[in-house]
Structure 1
Amino acid sequence: MTRSVLCAVDISNGKIDGPVLQKAAALADLEGAQLDVVSVLPDFGESWVSGFFQADFHEKALAEAQKQLTELCASTLGSERNEKIRHVVATGTAYQEILRTAESAGSDLIVIGAHKPDFKDYLLGPNAARVVRHSTVSVYVVR
């Protein structure tokens, strides 16, 4: 039985992850599971990178990402369903943060989209491929 579903979306893709979010919600609803949605921002805190940004840039980016993630969930699934979702904005390498979030949330299933495929990834996006390869729980890839 699935108790928790983690859906990974990229808010920079606009509404392209809508079908991924819808599939994750449907799978969570089938099992009566908690739905968590995560989006990952790049790490601007590296010493050589951070010098190019204002001191409070990261905090503003986190707040804006949280707003966009909440809006994406509400516009895709409706405001009533959105109230029951745990929204997570992480910072770092996408696949590592998705796996870390899944572990800390106790997720039994990760739902992710297959974006930006490259031949070397065998028609699966690089982050999705890494999540599939390194996950200790089931991964549902939406194409």
Structure 2
Amino acid sequence: MATKILLTIDHTDDTSWKKALPIALEQAKFYGAELHTVEVIPEIIQLPNLPANYGAGAKEFVRKAVQAILDQGNASDVPVHIKEGSVYREILKLAHKDGFDMIVIASAKGDFPNYEIGPNLARVVRNAHCTVMVIRD
């Protein structure tokens, strides 16, 4: 039984949420669970030729994009977590730290030999402390 469900979203790839969001909402309703979303943006490395505030506003931009996706999917009240760093590490850290007992993550179209299992998905499945539901396209 799930009490807290974490849905991963990539606002730049609609395959990460088109099928997964309705299924995550359905699972949350079925279990009476809290549903949260997370998007991880790559850590911005400060290079000498970039201004000190390079990347400022990135988290807020991504938060608005994710909120628009949730609004479109009738899930406006779902809390949004925006993390920065390694995708799989940040998903796993959040899931563990905040006591999520299910992670919903969509597979991606890929080439042989990975097909639909990319490196982040594989690492989340392999290392998660909780159930991981993989939504295939």
8 Å Cα contact 1:41/1:91 also seen in 2:
yes
Worse-matched range after superposition: 132-141 or 18-27: 18-27
Q: CA deviation at 1:105?
A: 2.0
Structure-to-structure mapping, 1:1-143, within 5 angstroms: 1-13=1-13, 15-16=14-15, 17-44=17-44, 46-47=45-46, 50-51=47-48, 53-76=50-73, 78=74, 81-83=75-77, 85-121=78-114, 123-143=116-136
In 2: Cα distance, 1:6 partner to 1:116 partner: 22
Aligned residue pair count: 135
In 1: Cα distance, 2:49 partner to 2:124 partner: 30
Kindly tell me: are residues 122 and 116 of structure 1, through their superposed partners in 2, closer, same or farther at Cα, counting changes over 3 Å?
Answer: closer
In 2: Cα distance, 1:25 partner to 1:43 partner: 29
Q: CA deviation at 1:53?
A: 4.0
Kindly tell me: are residues 74 and 60 of structure 1, through their superposed partners in 2, closer, same or farther at Cα, counting changes over 3 Å?
Answer: same
In 1: Cα distance, 2:53 partner to 2:62 partner: 14
8 Å Cα contact 1:11/1:68 also seen in 2:
yes
Query: RMSD value over aligned CA atoms?
Result: 1.7
For 1:121, the aligned partner's letter is: N
Listed as ranges, the gaps of 5+ residues in structure 1 are none
Kindly tell me: are residues 62 and 139 of structure 1, through their superposed partners in 2, closer, same or farther at Cα, counting changes over 3 Å?
Answer: same
Listed as ranges, the gaps of 5+ residues in structure 2 are none
Q: CA deviation at 1:54?
A: 3.6
Normalising by structure 2, we get a TM-score of 0.89
In 1: Cα distance, 2:113 partner to 2:49 partner: 33
Q: CA deviation at 1:117?
A: 2.7
8 Å Cα contact 1:6/1:111 also seen in 2:
yes
Normalising by structure 1, we get a TM-score of 0.85
TM superposition outliers: structure 1 runs of 4+ over 2 Å: 50-59, 116-123
